[in-house]
Structure 1
Amino acid sequence: MALVLVALVFGSTAAPSSSSADPEIDRQDQLVAVDEDSSLWPYTSRTTGFEERTLAINVVVAGDPAETRRHLEERSRGEWNETAPEQEDVSAPGDDEAVGTATAWGSADGSTRYVYVATDDDPTGGVWLDESYQLHDGDYLGSRHHIRAYASPDEDDEWTAIQAHREHWDWFRLSHTVSGVEDSQRHVEREFMDRRYVSAVSRDHLGNDRGFDSDGWVTTIDLDGDDDPPFRLAIAGLLPGAMLAGRVATRTAPRALGSPRVRHALLLAGSLIGLSLFVRFGAIAVEARLGDLDPRIVAGAFYPLIAVGLPTCTYYFARPLDRPTAFAAGAVGFATAILLDYTLLGVTRLPVNAVVHRFSTAIALGFIAVGASHAERIDPDDHGFVRMGALLWGVTLLVPLLRFL
């Protein structure tokens, strides 16, 4: 059983390839014209090649690129906050923000992604562009909207292609994970709606729906007042407080809660939920309070509460329980914590590998809870549940970090 789960964890870290079977078909069939002379491949790529396609371009702005950037940074509905170099995103391989109605776009950085631009006269002789700039709206250690903007390489052309997506800080990967593009596309659309210098905001179907969560519809924003669309289809909580509240609730719970076994199970599940939410929102609070501090230092300070705190908490609070109750309370409690975390962050989609990984971590804590249970400790036979759970927990922590080696 343990070997099967370990294999699942290793498999969950292998991101599915997004490359196409025929890169040449990708390039020739998916070029879209962004002005009279240039065409764009409507995807981003990890490298300067079509084989490493990642997320789809989902916004194109027709107008002065400098004005487009100025609008996002200085004319947005929220207060603009510049991100210092030490607050830039860590490299996040693969494409696998709590944000209110106000927007606070700031400089951002991350893994480089490229787009391909060609002239209509020579569609096979184009160039690869890296990002002109990156912006984000949200919390580094929480959830945020992130855009990569690509301005025309020709100073005479006036257009900006944007790839907008939503991402959240993953405490197990120690980097950001993309959770969707549609929400961020709408977020960028709202920035340009009802502005006197924007003549049109519309959507055109380009069929570039092979990226993560994409539906093939691209937002077109016209800053120049042109009647024609800008492009067309071409060839184609606090931990101590949480624990105290759990103890108070246990002592004051009405008899309707049932036996002490039920109350201890609720205390185990509640402690895991309280600790998980404390790590997430405590880190966000520290990041906001110490704005000049590198958020990676904040992440490093809170990470031990994930790596050591969760299994320790599980072992301690599972001691009065029997085996089945301990497993259910540990696994379901952590799964509930993950669900609440993503719900409060506004994350509605996850890559399959992330779902498999979280399932494995819940099972690992369930095994640790079984090994710590009262029935297991008084049993003369050593079933090794704690060792099994600790092994799986260690694997779930280490495997996502192997990419840093």
Structure 2
Amino acid sequence: MALVLVVLVLGSTASTSAPPADPAVDRQEQLVTVDGNSSLWPYTSSATTFEQRTLAINVIAAGDPAETRRHLEERSRGDWNETRPDQEDVGTASEDTTATENETAVAEEPAGTATSWGRADGSTRYVYVAAEDDPTDGVWLDESYQLHDGDYLGSRHHIRAYESPRDGDEWTAMQAHQEHWDWFRLSHTVTSAENSQRYVEREFMDRRSVSTVSREHLGNGRGFDSDGWVAIVDLETDGDDPPVPLETVAVLSGAMLVGRVASRTAPRELVAPRVRHAFLLAGSLIGLYLFVRFGAVGLESRLGDIDPRLVAGAFYPLIAVGLPVCTYAFARPLDRSTAFAAASVGFATAILLDYTLLGVTRLPVNVFVHRFSTAIALGFIAVGASHAERIDPEDHGFVRMGTLLWVVTLLVPLLRFL
């Protein structure tokens, strides 16, 4: 059983990348005309080659590139802060290892239209730009700038913008995606390009200096959840927007209080002790995991000048050590089956709540397999710590099995750093 679960964990980290791109097809059939003079390959790449295709370009702004940048940086509907170089993505984001066939919906996108774009840095991605009359004679561009809206240790929208390298061309191609900090990968995981595309579209809507915001089908639907439709923003050369009043950003913070099921109005005898202890176990895992997520986000916001990776390092032991220790401590009064169910379901609920509160709508299947294995590991630890297991003279080794699987679930996602 342990061997099977370890294999599951190893399989969950395997690449689920999109099918390899055909350079000939991409160069001859996928180039699109931009501004009448240039041809653009409507994807980004992790290297200066077509074979390393990552995500699809999903926004193109036609107009002065400086004006486009000013729209995003100075006319946002919310507060924005500059992101320093020490806030770059750790390692490589999962955009290289995801495909449209391997994603699962988690929750609906939360309502809201306020956008607050700040300077951002991340892994370098390239686009290919060529002259319209000679698509084979082109250049690879890295990002002109990057922007983000959100929290480094929470969820954020991330833009990579590419300005035209040719004199006389006035356009900016963007790749926008949504990502969140993964406490097991210790890096950002891309969850959607479509959500961020809509997010950026709203940034340009109803502006006096923007003539139209529309979508055009370019057929570049081979990256994550992209559907081949690209947002086209046409900027006016004159006119200005009315001033946008600053809005107060309300930070929703909830404290999950884990208490006993019995209350003053309900006699304790009406609730079985097993049920009370099961809720305590599940609630402790939920409370601890959400505390790590939103405690880290809150500290990151409060200590604006500190490297967010230091905050992540301070909270990570609560994930690596705190969750199994909490499981072992609260599972002691329970029987085997109740302990396993309370621990695994409690952790799964914590993950679901976390993604829902972050607004994550899609995840790769390998992430679900990994989280399933992690929940099973905590379930085994709970079984080994249960009262029935401790008084049993036969040693079944559930604690060792759960600890082994837990260590594997922690280490395997980090192997890419070696």
- Bin for the TM-score computed over the shorter chain: over 0.9
Contact kept in structure 2, 1:20 and 1:26, CA below 8 Å: no
For 1:394, the equivalent position in structure 2 comes to 407
Task: Give the superposition deviation at 1:249.
Answer: 4.0
Contact kept in structure 2, 1:98 and 1:139, CA below 8 Å: no
The higher relative CO (CA closer than 8 Å, separation ≥ 6) is in 2
C-alpha separation in 1, matches of 2:190 and 2:264: 42
- Unaligned stretches of 5+ residues in structure 2: 99-108, 238-251
Change (3 A) 1:257 1:308: farther
Task: Give the superposition deviation at 1:258.
Answer: 3.3
- 1:137 aligned to 131, 149, 159, which one? 149
- 2:187 aligned to 175, 188, 193, which one? 175
TM-score, length of structure 1 as denominator length: 0.92
Please give the secondary structure, in 2, of the residue aligned with 1:246: coil
- Unaligned stretches of 5+ residues in structure 1: 226-236
Identity %: 77
Change (3 A) 1:103 1:311: same
Structure 1 residues 295-317: Cα deviation after superposition (integer angstroms, max 9, x where no partner) = 11110100000000000000000
- 1:266 aligned to 275, 279, 282, which one? 279
Work out the number of aligned pairs and report it: 392
Contact kept in structure 1, 2:94 and 2:188, CA below 8 Å: no
* Deviates most, 296-305 or 110-119: 110-119
C-alpha separation in 2, matches of 1:259 and 1:383: 27
Q: RMSD across aligned C-alpha pairs, in angstroms?
A: 2.1
* Deviates most, 176-185 or 97-106: 97-106
Task: Give the superposition deviation at 1:91.
Answer: 2.9
Task: Give the superposition deviation at 1:214.
Answer: 0.8
For 2:223, the equivalent position in structure 1 comes to 211
- 2:340 aligned to 327, 330, 334, which one? 327
Contact kept in structure 1, 2:113 and 2:199, CA below 8 Å: no
For 2:362, the equivalent position in structure 1 comes to 349
Structure 1 residues 265-286: Cα deviation after superposition (integer angstroms, max 9, x where no partner) = 1110000000000000111111
**Counterparts of residues 237-316 of structure 1 (less than 5 Å):** 242=256, 245-249=257-261, 254=266, 258-316=271-329
For 2:89, the equivalent position in structure 1 comes to 89
C-alpha separation in 1, matches of 2:284 and 2:253: 11
C-alpha separation in 2, matches of 1:203 and 1:302: 42
Please give the secondary structure, in 2, of the residue aligned with 1:292: coil
Task: Give the superposition deviation at 1:192.
Answer: 0.5
Structure 1 residues 63-102: Cα deviation after superposition (integer angstroms, max 9, x where no partner) = 1111111110011111231112222332324404999532
Change (3 A) 1:216 1:253: farther
- Is 2:23 the counterpart of 1:23? yes
C-alpha separation in 1, matches of 2:362 and 2:264: 38
For 2:39, the equivalent position in structure 1 comes to 39
For 2:173, the equivalent position in structure 1 comes to 161
For 1:77, the equivalent position in structure 2 comes to 77
For 1:222, the equivalent position in structure 2 comes to 234
Structure 1 residues 231-263: Cα deviation after superposition (integer angstroms, max 9, x where no partner) = xxxxxx999x75xx3234456583596311111
Please give the secondary structure, in 1, of the residue aligned with 2:135: strand
C-alpha separation in 1, matches of 2:232 and 2:265: 57
- Is 2:163 the counterpart of 1:116? no
Change (3 A) 1:252 1:378: farther
Aligned AA for 1:78?
Answer: G
TM-score, length of structure 2 as denominator length: 0.90
Please give the secondary structure, in 1, of the residue aligned with 2:224: coil
C-alpha separation in 2, matches of 1:383 and 1:286: 42
After the TM superposition, list the runs of 4 or more consecutive aligned residues in structure 1 that deviate by more than 6 angstroms.
Answer: none
C-alpha separation in 2, matches of 1:350 and 1:181: 12
Task: Give the superposition deviation at 1:37.
Answer: 1.6
Change (3 A) 1:151 1:253: farther
Structure 1 residues 40-85: Cα deviation after superposition (integer angstroms, max 9, x where no partner) = 1111111111111111110000011111111100111112311122
Please give the secondary structure, in 2, of the residue aligned with 1:307: helix
C-alpha separation in 2, matches of 1:169 and 1:99: 21
